[in-house]
Amino acid sequence: MKVADSVILIVLFAAALSTLVSIGAGFFLFASGDYSGDLMARHFWAGILTGFFIFTSTGLFLVYWSTGRFYFVYLAALVISNIVVAYASHLGGSITHGQDYLTEHLDVMLSDSESQEVRPESEMLVYDDMIAPILEAKCLSCHNAQKAKGNFLMTSFENILKPGESKSQPVTPGLSGKSEVFKRVTLAENHKDHMPPAGKTPMTESEISLLKFWIDAGAKKEHRVLDAKKEKAAGTIIANLLPELSRYRRKAEIANMRLKSLQKELELVATALSIVIKNDTTNDEGYFTIGMSFPPAPFTNEQFKLLHPYAAVFSKASLVSSGIDDAGLYYVGQMSNLEKLYLQKTKLDGSGLVYLQKLPKLKVLNLSFTKVDDKAAIDLLKFPSLEEVYLYRTNTSKEVVNALEKYKPGLKIYLQEGPYF
C-alpha cells in the first residue's frame, strides 16, 4: 500500500467511527423527545445517510486498494458523502440558529443604510461619532435608563458628567487622571472596580487612548474629528478606530433586527398559549418575561413545554395560579438566564425543586401558597445564587426556616405572600 493510500484509509476509518458516534448521540437526543418536528427529523435522516455513504466509501476504497477496481465508484460515493454532510450540517445550523440563519442579516449587509447614517468625516464629532459608540458597545448594558448600575447613566453627554453613587466626578475636563470613568477602565482586570466587570468585553488600548485624549483635550461635545486628527497623539488612534466603530454600528443593527424577529415569534407563542410575554425593561440584554393573562387561562406542563426552544431568552417568569406542577419544573430548569421565578398558588409539593438547583442566575423564588415541605425547603441550600425566597402558607416548619437562615446567611427568607411579578 502506498503511503498516500494509507493516509486516506486512516482518514476514512476515522470519519466512519466519528460518524457512528455522532449518529448514536443524535439518536438518543432525538429519542428523548426534547427536540422534534420536521426539521429535526430531516436532520436525523440526513445523519443516517451520511453514515451510509461514508461507510460505503470506506468499503469501496478497500475494494479498490485490494483489486484496483471501482475507483470511480469510490470517488462518486465520496462526493455524495460530502454533499450529504453539508446538507446535514446546514440542517443542524438551522435547528440551532433558525432556518434563515444564513440569510437573516443580508438586508443589513447589502443595504446602504450605514453609509446614509454615518456622517462625512468632515462633519464628525469626537464624542458623538467616536466616544458615544464605544460607550454604547462597552458600557450601556449596565448604565442605561432601565439599569443604572451605581446610579450612573451613560446614555448622553450630559449624563456622563453627573456623578453616581460614588460621588466621584465621572469626567473632569482636562484631567483624565481625576476622571472616574477613565480610572475604572484602566484598573487591572481582576480589580473589583474594573469596568466593564468580568464577563463583559473591555475597552481596547486604542479606545482607552482615545478616551484619555478626549478628556485631556477638554471633553468638549463640539470637538471635531478633523481637528483631533491634527494632534499627533490622536491622529493614528482615530485612523485605526474608525473602521472598528463601523463594525460596532453594524453589530448593533444586526442585534436589533434579531431582537425584533424574536419578539414577533414570542408574540405568536404568547397568543397561542394565552399568556403574556414582554421585553424585560429592567435589563439591556434582550431578555423577556413570562406572565399569566387575567383572568388566568389554564397553563399546564405540556403547554409550558412549547416554550422550551426559547428557554434561554427569559429572565423572569410569573406562573402564579397556573397548572404547572413539580414535573413541569423540569422545563423551567432549562431557563439558564432566569433571575426571578414566582410560583404562588400552583400545585407544587417541592419534589421538583431539584430541577432548579443548577439555574446559575436565579435570585428570587416565591413558593407561597404551595405544599412545599421541610424536605424540599432544605434543598434550597443547594441553589447557587438564591438571595430571596418566600415561604408563606407552605408546609415548611419554623425550625427549618431557622436552619436555612443559619446555614445560608445570605439568603433572606420571607414568611409573607410576596410579589407576584
**Grid cell listed for 320:** 402564579
3-state secondary structure of 32: helix
Beta bridge partners of 390: 366, 414
The tens place of each residue's pLDDT in the chain, 421 residues long, gives: 555 778 888 888 888 888 888 888 877 766 655 555 566 778 888 888 988 999 999 999 888 888 888 889 989 999 999 999 888 888 877 665 555 555 555 554 555 444 445 578 888 899 998 998 898 888 887 787 656 678 888 888 998 999 988 899 999 999 999 999 999 999 998 898 889 887 788 999 999 999 999 999 999 999 999 999 888 778 888 888 888 887 777 777 777 787 888 899 999 999 989 899 999 987 657 799 999 987 766 788 888 888 988 998 999 999 999 999 999 999 999 999 999 999 999 999 999 999 999 899 999 999 999 999 999 999 999 999 999 999 999 999 999 999 999 999 999 999 999 998 8
Write down the pLDDT at residue 31. 66
Write down the pLDDT at residue 115. 42
Write down the pLDDT at residue 376. 94
Whole-number Å distance between alpha carbons of 243 and 219: 23
- Phi-psi region for residue 293, left (φ > 0), alpha (ψ -120 to 50) or beta? beta
DSSP secondary structure string for all residues of 229-290: HTSHHHHHHHHHHHHHHHHHHHHHHHHHHHHHHHHHHHHHHHHHHTEEEEE-TT-SS--EEE
**Grid cell listed for 322:** 397556573
| CA-based radius of gyration for the chain | 28
Write down the pLDDT at residue 116. 42
Write down the pLDDT at residue 168. 92
